[in-house]
Amino acid sequence: MTAILERCESQSLWGRFANRVTKDQNRLYIGWFGVLMIPTLLTATSVFIIAFIAAPPVDIDGIRGTRFRSLLYGNNIISGAIIPTFAAIGLHFYPIWEAASVDEWLYNGGPYELIVLHFLLVVACYMGREWELSFRLGMPLDCCCIFSSVALPPPFS
């Protein structure tokens, strides 16, 4: 039995990372959009699970009428929800660093906005991954729009 040994070229850590991310022979293509998409998706998913289980009451309409919808406040899986506030329905940007405290951010529906805005970024990054993979494989670049038509808004008529 003979073994063929290839001499490994010394590459920097960044070069090895870039080759691994942009390699299109992997079973799961990551791509540069995937570098942003994967942590963003993990953030949105973990905040959703934590908020569904243990979110505090939320002021839904701005007049201090709180709603309890997490599992720790006596709801079951069917009646549990992550409650948006009146301001969050219009998706006003309310980051955690703008609130006076984390309790205020939670009370005003911060987890809902974090989940929705992160998930919108995940959808955009997924479309970018499709575009990047079709670019690397030499496919028509509109394939990402064709396969992601579910994520695109309908045209106005």
Per-residue model confidence as pLDDT tens digits over 34-79: 999 999 999 999 998 998 888 888 777 667 777 777 777 777 777 7
CA distances (Å), origin 114, targets 101, 134, 140: 16, 30, 34
Whole-model pTM over 0.85 = no
| Alpha carbon distance 118, 44 (integer Å) | 6
| Alpha carbon distance 45, 111 (integer Å) | 11
Instruction: Tell me if 94 sits within 8 A of 105, measured CB to CB.
Output: yes
Task: Tell how strand 58-59 and strand 66-67 pair up.
Answer: antiparallel
**Contacts of residue 72, Cβ cutoff 8 Å, sequence gap at least 6:** 53, 54
